[in-house]
Structure 1
Amino acid sequence: MAIIGQVNDLVVTDELPFGYSLAYEGTDSDINETVFMPVSDTNGQFVKGQTLQAFVYYAQDGSIQATQKEVPIKVNDFALLTCTGATDFGAFFDWGMERDLLVPKSMQHKPMDIGLSYVVYLLEDPDNRKLVGCSKLYRFLNETADDLSPGQEVSVIVFDETSLGFKCIINREYQGLLFKSDLFKRLAIGDQLTAFIKQIRGDGKIDLSLQRQGKEARKDLAAEIIDDLEAHGGISTLTDKSSADEIYARYHVSKGAYKRAIGTLYKNKKILLSKTHISLVEKK
């Protein structure tokens, strides 16, 4: 059985002048419901019996259709989409299909404006044979996690901004918070980043950081700085006076973390500091 809202393996059961009749792979061609794919939605020509991959969805009339167009979102997943229209009953989003995706007003976290982008979750409504979007993402995310631990590297998607910081989707399963006080780079809704579990609070909620924490993180950064110096003739123009952007572009850490690392290296007599550069201490 094909999964609506996902890419499926389908078999061509008939060639038509205006498209193809398809069946779910592994089923007979006389199943109760076939899948139609218009010629305009194909990326090639096919013959009867050939297997292909296509995104399966509900058409406006409720029938099941397929497309080989690139669809940026799948059912039960998240994606950043741009609002193309708004009415009293919902907002519409561009998702690469002929008809825009509807996010009903009842499924909006807050009013949506045309031209702005929002992180949306895609749902199947099998009773009404529709695919709809939802921006009330907390419905699909756990606030607490037993299988995450401090220091763990995770993938995040920024989905909302609050007075405290940025709410993030963690590993497409949990939600956490990046505090503004911990940020050293600008963030935008929809950004996909690598982050780290900063702490799991007493109530189980998850705090995030864009860089590793603790002594081991400082040791790793110090070793990375030494490796970079050795690869560039023992000299770097990246000093404690360099901009936060320059430091992040090289090491993906805050300026404060970089200054602490080179301070430790200087105290341990591994590097020399000047106003214009840092350099390795020559080995005797």
Structure 2
Amino acid sequence: MENLLGRMITGSVTDENETDYFVQAEGTTFRLAKQEIKKPLRAGATFKGFAYESEDHHLTITRNAPQVQVDHYGWGTVVRSQRTLGVFVDIGLPNKDMVVSLDDLPSMMELWPQQGDKLLIALREDHKQRLWGVLADMDIFHAIAQPGKKRMENANVTATVVQNKLVGTRVMTDHYELGFIHPDERDVEPHLGAEVHGRIIGVHDDGTLNLSLKPRAYEAIDDDAAMLLAALEHSEAGHLEFSDKSSPAAIRAYFGISKGQFKRAIGHLLKDRKITQHDGQLWLVTDQATDDSAPQA
């Protein structure tokens, strides 16, 4: 049976029952579901299909061959994980998911692919004739990659995480450009197989993209402004002893943002007339504001 599983093989129909045909190739017999076949097959007919062992350990052959095969890479969808084994990947077979071994996954389990994530894998057959999923390495990704263009800079992209390293995260976009995310350009490390949404902040001469998962400055203003507004709304007197003259250290210690972010947030809220500044303090503007409760600048 060696060199049969996980591949396209050709055999001859030898028998049948109510539900299956039996196809023999190199002395090994495989089941072929009759529901796949539109016209009946006769004994001795030649049949070509994809060979594998189903979940219930039946040797099976199917005409609905998956893209993922031995030495053939394709995308599969993670359906579940098992701490002691690895992750199970749906490659399109009705009764078999392929396992990517924990030995091939990140050492930190929180970086393992999660249900619904995508992995580019091929198959390999071990010495016990078991099929395993094998992750594509960077040589494979480089071989299938399309070069990015300089004009793409600042564009939004959707990408899949294909490698986690201490130096950063490598991804492949939906259009097959390779990208790199430096740790400074993300708030948390995305796990292998995760879909991420970022923007292009640079394009190398070889077409590789530098990506950021952080929002643009004007996009970040809304988040910082919302946080500042929430702080004012939860203050007892509707004001805080901060202004655009406050020290960067004090702003960082209290709000966790830079002074530049703080000033942009203030500007946003002043423009929207949600706050005022007075005597070195920020005041919340309310519908019932009075001269005593919310001094005007």
**Could you state the TM-score of these two structures normalised by the residue count of structure 2?**
0.48
- The structure with the largest alpha-carbon Rg is 2
**Could you state the TM-score of these two structures normalised by the residue count of structure 1?**
0.50
